[in-house]
């Protein structure tokens, strides 16, 4: 296994921002406040009459759609999309709302965004900023995000044995961390149990 704490790594990928009011425009913060209070009707009305663009961002480059996904607020997501919120804007960490939904292991929300037109190409191109340069398939396997892993495999975005910087596969990551359901999903998708990475290990030696 890699030596970093996977839970801390996932947290670093999706830091909370709703309570951080520095560097935000007043208009953006007013919208965030309504989202945090789950006042979706008021949020709709404010955006509809506000002169500020709907896709204003915070200091991390996140739109209100990014924040709504982080809150897993389905109604807010639906409202924002009806008002014309773009789906594909990247934040400063290179994540789209769809990627954040996958990181939250929220399959229903991720499917909704895909059906609404969210591109899977941004998911395919995403890599973590640490040394490993993990794909989203690796992230799901590392953190036991079984629902997101299942969706990614169903969408056939990646080769099931896609390698990271060390050519470590998602199966190796899942086996290393004891995520049985993820191991089973990857094996059902045809993952190679004998695939050897650059460190000379395979899923069997990592289990």
Domain residue extents for the chain: 1-119, 127-207
Q: Residue 64: CB partners within 8 Å, gap ≥ 6? A: 28, 31, 32, 35, 47, 54, 56, 76, 80, 85
Q: Which of 93, 61, 68, 89 is nearest to 18 (CA)?
A: 68
Tokens of 56: 């204003």
CATH superfamily assigned to domain 127-207? Ankyrin repeat-containing domain (1.25.40.20)
State the pLDDT confidence band at 5, using cuts at 50, 70 and 90: very low
Prediction pTM value: 0.84
Using CB atoms within 10 Å of the CB of residue 6, give its burial: 0 to 12 exposed, 13 to 18 middle, 19+ buried: middle
Q: How far apart are CA 38 and CA 103, in angstroms?
A: 22
The pLDDT value recorded for residue 178 is 93
Using CB atoms within 10 Å of the CB of residue 91, give its burial: 0 to 12 exposed, 13 to 18 middle, 19+ buried: buried
Length of the chain counted residue by residue? 207
Phi-psi region of 8 (alpha: psi -120 to 50; beta: other; left: phi over 0): alpha
Write b or e for each residue in 114-142: b if 16 or more Cβ atoms lie within 10 A of its Cβ, otherwise e.
beeebeeebbeebebeeebebbbbbbbbb
pLDDT > 70: percent of the chain: 84
7-48 confidence digits (pLDDT tens)? 556 666 665 554 444 345 677 788 888 888 888 998 888 888
Average of pLDDT values for 135-144? 95
The yes-or-no verdict on residue 6 having pLDDT over 50 is no
Same CATH topology for 1-119 and 127-207? yes
45-66 confidence digits (pLDDT tens)? 888 887 778 888 888 889 999 9
The pLDDT value recorded for residue 12 is 64
The pLDDT value recorded for residue 86 is 94
Q: How far apart are CA 139 and CA 164, in angstroms?
A: 11
The pLDDT value recorded for residue 13 is 67
The yes-or-no verdict on residue 205 having pLDDT over 70 is no
The pLDDT value recorded for residue 198 is 67
The radius of gyration of the chain's CA atoms, rounded to the nearest angstrom, is 18
Q: How far apart are CA 41 and CA 74, in angstroms?
A: 13
Q: How far apart are CA 32 and CA 144, in angstroms?
A: 30
The pLDDT value recorded for residue 207 is 58
In CATH, the architecture of 1-119 is Alpha Horseshoe (1.25)
Q: How far apart are CA 65 and CA 12, in angstroms?
A: 19
The yes-or-no verdict on residue 93 having pLDDT over 90 is no
The pLDDT value recorded for residue 3 is 33
The pLDDT value recorded for residue 99 is 95
State the pLDDT confidence band at 4, using cuts at 50, 70 and 90: very low
> Which residue's structure tokens are 């594909």?
88
């Amino acid at each position: 296994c890699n030596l970093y704490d996977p839970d801390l790594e996932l947290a670093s990928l999706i830091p909370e921002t709703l309570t951080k009011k520095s560097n935000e425009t007043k208009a953006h913060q007013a919208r965030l406040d309504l989202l945090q209070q789950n006042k979706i009707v008021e949020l709709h009305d404010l955006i509809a009459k506000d002169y500020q663009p709907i896709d204003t961002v915070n200091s991390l480059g996140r739109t209100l759609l990014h924040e709504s996904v982080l809150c897993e607020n389905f109604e807010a997501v639906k409202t924002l999309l009806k008002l014309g919120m773009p789906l594909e804007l990247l934040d400063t960490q290179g994540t789209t709302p769809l990627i954040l939904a996958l990181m939250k292991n929220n399959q229903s929300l991720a499917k909704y965004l895909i059906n609404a037109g969210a591109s899977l190409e941004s998911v395919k191109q995403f890599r973590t900023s640490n040394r490993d340069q993990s794909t989203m398939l690796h992230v799901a396997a590392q953190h036991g995000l079984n629902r997101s892993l299942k969706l990614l495999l169903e969408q056939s975005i990646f080769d099931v044995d896609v390698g990271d910087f060390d050519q470590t596969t998602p199966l190796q990551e899942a086996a290393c961390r004891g995520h049985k359901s993820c191991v089973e999903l990857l094996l059902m998708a045809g993952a190679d149990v004998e695939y050897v990475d650059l460190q000379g290990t395979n899923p069997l030696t990592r289990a």
